[in-house]
Every structure is written in structure tokens, then in C-alpha cells.
Chain A
């Protein structure tokens, strides 16, 4: 009797379980693109976010290719985490993993730095003297933080005398937190700014200004403090609409902005920062032109976050692959801004921070650039033309306090390109944007490294 009651129910029960299993199987299914048969030699210089994310996709797209990745760095750094480390929310090891943890099998990892790239001979030479010939080259070296350009500053000073350097690495970010934590206990003058070169994550200097303000307020020392932001030019952010919003927030938080200040030196002993301001011309209502000559200014501080000029690594600057008439002296790779393909050497691509394109030096940009390079590279191997276009997408969860951020996304044309239009407003300080930065970003980044996003 009981059995009779049960049997149809059990069938329904099993049916449900089967449905669930089918759903989960669907989730695991891979896109069914047949791998391209090739003997091509592909060399990727750099195993950061860009190189690693790309190589994990190339091994799925190419069958038989000899893929070599060249990088002497043993540690992989999750750089978007540096701000969280420097805000005391994560430990230094939050951003550290092993380069080898992310590299797929079947790829040759040359554990040495590239010393020379010869695009004519199609050859990369390592510091150790190993010569690697290629048919296709992807330059993904990242950039160089030019600490030497800040006179009087050295990284061993970080953590003392109110000196911070969030960009320098996970350990330096942690030391910066120690200095910021100490500073915010008592308050004083906090000085922030950004370099005059292209830079990665242009929002980071702003975030750290907001975070320091937040800690001062939480510790009740904001009234006894002054926050100065020394902008390198006449703006706070390159995207006009974001610039206006940041200006409003700076006003709201009581930050003092000094424009046209380019950091040139630091005196740790006297806690003084030196700046150069360029020559300026102003015209009054009577048409009289006043020329203010270039000058040196100094600002004394109790705490600062030093951000140096950012340039291409020497190996790229000396390769003949860099722009000569754009970003003079910075050495970014001369690529087409839509395809990321080198403008003079069709078998060379630039990916990530090194690419000489406006904007685009963030991990979010890399996420959008990888499929573009993948497409054009695989198409070239097949003897076809690629179709994917990079539109300059960059994203920045601009933290405005612990617990809130503005999700700012834009493209080459300075258009806002919200991922969640109508749901997450781009220029609003929201908790959900903070949640994305704190929880979802690193997993998304890791998924990108694995070639899955």
C-alpha cells in the first residue's frame, strides 16, 4: 500500500535530481571551438595578468603550437589588492601567488627576464643569454616604476617618516598601511598625488586619499588634519564626467587640491616633497598676458603615498618597437589601438600595461584586451583576419571610504560604459560597488588568469 503511494513520487524525485544533474553538466560544458592545428612558435614576454590570461586561452585554441612564456618573476602579484592591503583590510599575502601556479601544462616557461627583443630577426634573448626565436610575439612585460626619478627617495624608507608607496608591491603596501595607521592616530598633513606619465590604475591615488580621510574620520583626528592632493595637471581624472564628480567629492570631504604639481623629490628627514610646476600663461579681461615661469614648490607632510613616473621597461624601449612620436620618453609599444597589433611588425602584439594606447592600464582592461589579441593572433596563424576590437574599456571601482565605492567604467572616447546599466549607477557611491571590489574582483581576476573570463 505504502509502496504504491511512493513509486510515482520517487519517480518525480529522481526526475528532479536528473534535471539538477543536467543543469550542472551544462555549466561545465566548454565552448565547442575546434583547436587550430599549427606548428607556429609563439613567444609571450611577461607572465603577469596579461601574459598568463592569454597563454591559458591560447593552449585551448592552438594544437601543436610551441608556446613559450618568458619571465623571471617567481611571484604573481594581484595588483588590484594593493589598495586593500594598504588600507589594513588584507594581509600582504592576499596579493601573492606563484607564477607557475597559473601556467598551463604544455607551455615552456623560461624562468628568466628578457634582455633584448629583435623584431627583425624575430628573436628574444634572455638575461642569461638564451635566444628564443618566434613566429609570433606578444609583448606583455608590464611597466617599470621609475623610483629613481624621485630624487632623495628610496624604497627602504617606506614605512618610516610617514612615507608610503602602495604601488611598490604587497610588502610595501603593508608597510604603507603601518605608516598610514600610525599617522591617522594623531593626524597632521597628508599629501597625495600622481605622476605626470601614463600610469596604471589612475584611480588608485584618489582611492588612497579617500581611504586616509576615512580613517582620520573614524579615529576622530580629521579635524586636526589637512589633506592635500597635488594633481600633476589641471584635472583629477582624465574622463571629464568622472573628473567633475571627483571634484565634488573632494570639496565635500574638504580636500585641498593643488594643480600642476609634478613630484620631483622627497626629503624623508624633513618630510618635505618637492614639485615642479610648469610655466603658465594667463590672460586677464584687458587682454594682458601674464607669464608665470616654471618653478619649484615644496609641501611639507606628515604622511604621503609616493607614486613614481611609470615607463616601459628597458627591453621594450631598446627594441625598436616603441612609439617614437607619442609619449616621448615613456617607450610604450606602438600598437593599433583597436587590434593591439604592432603598427610596423604584423606578427607582434602588445597586451596590458605596455600597450601604447590611451587609458587601458588596468587588470579590467587586460580582461577585455586578451580576447582581442587571442582572436587576431589565432586568425593570423590560420591566414585569416581577426574581427575583435578593443574599445579602450577600463574599469575602476573608485573606493571613497571603507564600505563604499563608485564603479567607474569608460572607453577611449571617455564614454561611460556601465556593465550593469540601470542597476549599478556609475557615479554613485554604493555599497554594492564596494562588495564587488572586495569579494568579486579577485575571483574574477583569477578566472581571467585561468582563461575563463
Chain B
């Protein structure tokens, strides 16, 4: 690959999802992340109870993201061919898990509001 710069990467992602959808997804990701940081800063602590529930959603997020990627790419677990493929698979699962946890935590914090420290 020639000239793999940050700009190329952005251009590639714009092409994968379409410019509108890509930047919408970036915006959603940024909003969720900022909302997460916001509730952390607002609450001044990480609620163990909310975090527990968020963690419980992590396997779901991991499985869902792996299935999503496999479906859109016409592939299955049988196509895993080498260590790098396992790394990609774990990366996809990990990203799905973490994303889901952050989302669930943030949604709880925003809907339930600030809870007093126990």
C-alpha cells in the first residue's frame, strides 16, 4: 500500500460507509464517549453497580460485533487461517464489548441520573 496516511485512512472509511454515515457514526461515537466522560466527571466516581451491569452486556456486544462482521463479509470461523486472524477476531470482539459497556454505562447514568455514593 502506498501513502497510507491518516487522510487516506479517513478517505477509505468515508468510502466504506459513505461520507454521511461515516461522519454520523464518528459523531455518535464522539457523543457517547463525551457523554461517558461527562457522567464520570459529574459523578466523580465510577459506579460499581452500573459498571457491573455494563460488564454483563460485554459478551453480548462482543458476539454481536463478530457476527455482524462475519455476515457482511460472507465469512465464518472456519476461515480463520493464522494468528493475525485471531487477533483481528479478538479485536472485533473487544471493540464490540468495550463499546457496548461504555454505551450501557452511559445510558444508565444519563437515565437514572447521579446516584449517591454508597
Contacts and interface: CB of A to CB of B under 8 A. Distances in A.
Interface of A: 5-6, 9, 12-13, 16-17, 20, 26-30, 89, 367-368, 371, 393, 401-404, 419, 423-425, 428-432, 434-435, 438-440, 442-444, 446-447, 450, 452-453
B2 A431 contact: no
A151 B41 CA distance: 76
B115 interface: no
A6 to B, nearest CB: 8
26 contacts: A5-B44, A9-B42, A13-B34, A29-B7, A30-B7, A89-B74, A368-B2, A371-B3, A403-B74, A403-B79, A423-B84, A424-B84, A428-B81, A430-B82, A431-B81, A431-B85, A431-B89, A432-B88, A434-B73, A435-B73, A443-B15, A446-B15, A447-B11, A452-B8, A453-B2, A453-B3
A27 to B, nearest CB: 5
A13 B15 contact: no
B3 A13 contact: no
B52 interface: no
B81 A13 contact: no
A367 B81 contact: no
A424 B79 CA distance: 15
A430 B1 contact: no
A17 B27 CA distance: 12
Nearest to B34: A17
B28 interface: no
Contact of A443 (B1, B7, B16, B81): B16
Interface in B64-118: 72-76, 78-82, 84-85, 88-89
Nearest to A444: B12
Contact of B15 (A9, A403, A431, A447): A447
Given A443-B13, A444-B12, A453-B11, A16 B79 contact: no
A453 B89 CA distance: 27
B38 interface: yes
A367 B3 CA distance: 10
Determine chain B's interface SS by DSSP, over half rule.
helix
B15 A434 contact: no
When A and B form their complex, which 10 residue pairs have the shortest distance between CB atoms, in order from nearest? A443-B15, A403-B79, A403-B75, A447-B11, A431-B85, A452-B11, A446-B15, A419-B1, A430-B81, A431-B79
B88 A435 contact: yes
B55 to A, nearest CB: 24
A77 to B, nearest CB: 16
A364 to B, nearest CB: 9
B82 A12 contact: no
Contacts of B74: 89, 402-403, 438
B42 A453 contact: no
B81 A429 contact: yes
B37 interface: yes
A440 B73 contact: no
Interface in B45-60: none
Contacts of B73: 403, 434-435, 438-439
A29 B7 CA distance: 8
